[in-house]
Amino acid sequence: MIGQTNILVIYTGGTIGMVQDPKTMALRPLSFDILYKYLPVLENFNCTIDFYTFEPLLDSSNMNPSFYIHLATVIEEKYEDYDGFVILHGSDTMAYTASALSFMLENLNKPVIFTGSQLPIGMVRTDGRENFINSIEIATAKEYDTPVVPEVAICFENKLYRGNRTSKFNAEHFGAFVSVNYPLLAEVGVHIKYNQNLILKPNFKKLKALKTLDENITILKLFPGISSQAVEAILHTKDLKAVILETFGSGNAPTIPWFIDHLQDAITRGIIIYNVTQCKGGTVEMGKYETSAGLNKIGVIGGYDITTESAVTKLMYLLGSGYSQESIKQLLQTSLRGEMTV
């Protein structure tokens, strides 16, 4: 039995909040005052559901650090008034936003559940209804008056993932997300089966919303045949502070001298190089092969099994928090919000 709780649904944009205009047949944003028309089952929940709508609504491709700060601010301001939050968000960059929020909301002790859909909620075959209902139920779930999932998570296609462990891998199927390196937090069937030992535990400290992000980072994705000029251009980006180096396999990269020289020069200039594998599954093991031993020797930092999405937002958060470079290097190899396995 779900206890009486207050849930805030934050609609940022995305497919889930769209309905088809019966005259023009074009998709338009849903007015949430008629949401119960599409989801009458919500009236059966023993909870109060309020809505906050972003103005303007954003396609997830237009999300950026300013949006993350706005979203974190809304949660901070409403935190004491609600028992949990459900965020409706476009699926394309949902993993980035969920990762960012996980770092920005320090001492989070309430559910922040992201969801969306591949088809608009107003369509007959939409996956949005199920995703939305599941998210509300998970956000209201308590045990001994303590939230069952006091962390940032993504609920999609009957699965609950840790937000900073996910990547979108399918643009066509309802099962849009994958979390290869960390098991599901919960599975939704006849019952919702929570994997309690995998879920972060509350610390009951006061929430801190850390709202300074530094965008002076970039991604250098390796591919066979990448040129010296391309690598040099990226590493000389104006005001650059850190680079996520997307390597092959378990953290491997070319051993050709010019490539190592470019990286060494960047590190000498104070740029952090963070080694993250291109693979969806597996981990970076610096020095396992000769092709990563050279990176280790010059001071490239291994990212273990962190996702690119999480690496991007973790770097923005750390660089914006005023830590020394040595502290940042240590924290990049430390699990702060369950984002990596060390």
Number of domains in the chain: 2
Query: At which residue do the structure tokens 């999609």 appear?
Result: 156
Are residues 63 and 188 both part of a single domain? yes
Are both 116 and 221 inside the same structural domain?
A: no
Rounded to the nearest angstrom, the gap between the alpha carbon of residue 50 and the centroid of all alpha carbons in its chain is 24
**End-to-end CA separation in angstroms for the chain:** 38
Q: Are residues 193 and 228 in the same domain?
A: no
Question: How high is the pLDDT of residue 34?
Answer: 62
Note whether 196 and 263 are same-domain residues: no
| pLDDT value of position 219 | 98
Cα-Cα-Cα-Cα dihedral of 245, 248, 251, 256, to 10°?
Answer: -80
- Which residue range forms the structural domain that includes residue 228? 217-332
Asked if residue 186 is part of any domain, the answer here is yes
pTM comes to 0.93
Return the pLDDT at 166.
97
At 53, give phi and psi (nearest 5°): -110, 130
> What's the Cα-to-Cα distance from 100 to each of 172, 222, 258, 263, 300, rounded to whole Å?
25, 24, 34, 27, 23
Structure-token match 């491709």, residue found: 61
Residues 74 and 168 occupy one common structural domain:
yes
Predicted local confidence at residue 98, as pLDDT: 98
Is residue 339 a part of any domain in this protein? Answer: no
Asked, for residue 340, whether it belongs to a domain, the answer is: no
Beta bridge partners of 302: 275
| Whether residue 155 is found in the same domain as residue 279 | no
- The residue to which tokens 């066979």 are assigned: 224
Q: Using an 8 Å Cβ cutoff, are 89 and 115 in contact?
A: yes
Asked if residue 301 and residue 180 are part of one domain, the reply reads no
What's the token pair of residue 165?
């462990």
What per-residue confidence (pLDDT) applies to 253? 93
Domain CATH number, residue 296 = 3.40.50.40
Kindly state whether residue 342 falls inside one of the protein's structural domains. Answer: no
Q: Does 337 reside within a domain?
A: no
Task: Give the pLDDT confidence of 302-315 residue by residue, as tens digits.
Answer: 999 999 999 999 99
Do 254 and 129 belong to one domain?
Answer: no
Query: Do residue 55 and residue 28 come from a single domain?
Result: yes
3-state DSSP of the chain: CCCCEEEEEEECCCHHHEEECCCCCCEEECCHHHHHHHCHHHHHCCEEEEEEECCCCCCHHHCCHHHHHHHHHHHHHHHHHCCEEEEECCCCCHHHHHHHHHHHEECCCCCEEEECCCCCCCCCCCCHHHHHHHHHHHHHCEECCEECCCCEEEEECCEEEEHHHCEECCCCCCCCEECCCCCCCEEECCCEEECHHHCCCCCCCCCEECCCCCCCEEEEECCCCCCHHHHHHHHCCCCCCEEEEEEECCCECCCCHHHHHHHHHHHHCCCEEEEEECCCCCCCCCCCCHHHHHHHHHCCEECCCCCHHHHHHHHHHHHHCCCCHHHHHHHHCCCCCCCCCC
Per-residue pLDDT tens listing for the chain (342 residues): 444 789 999 999 888 877 766 778 776 666 666 666 677 777 777 888 999 989 888 888 899 999 999 999 999 999 999 999 999 999 899 999 999 999 999 999 999 999 998 887 777 788 878 999 999 999 999 998 899 999 999 999 999 999 999 999 987 888 788 899 999 999 999 999 999 999 999 999 999 999 999 999 999 999 999 999 999 999 999 999 999 999 999 999 999 999 999 999 999 999 999 999 999 899 998 878 777 788 999 999 999 999 999 999 999 999 999 999 999 999 999 999 999 998
Cα separation, 287 vs 278, whole angstroms: 17
As a whole number of angstroms, the distance between CA 297 and CA 290 comes to 11
The residue among 154, 174, 209 that closes a domain is 209
CATH of the domain at 15: 3.40.50.1170
pLDDT of residue 87: 96
Choose the final residue of a domain: 209, 241, 272: 209
- The reply to whether 203 and 142 lie within a common domain is yes
Which of 175, 209, 243 is at the close of a domain?
209
Beta bridge partners of 48: 6
CA–CA separation, 277 and 253 (whole Å): 10
Annotated active-site residue 15? The verdict is yes
Whole-number pLDDT of residue 1: 41
Q: How far apart (Å, rounded) are the C-alpha atoms in residues 134 and 144?
A: 21
| Same domain assignment for residues 238 and 117 | no
Name the catalytic one among 15, 115, 166, 247: 15
Residues 195 and 224 in one domain: no
Cα(326)–Cα(311) distance, rounded to whole angstroms? Answer: 17
Residue 321 domain flag: yes
149 assigned to some structural domain: yes
Residue 89 covered by a domain = yes
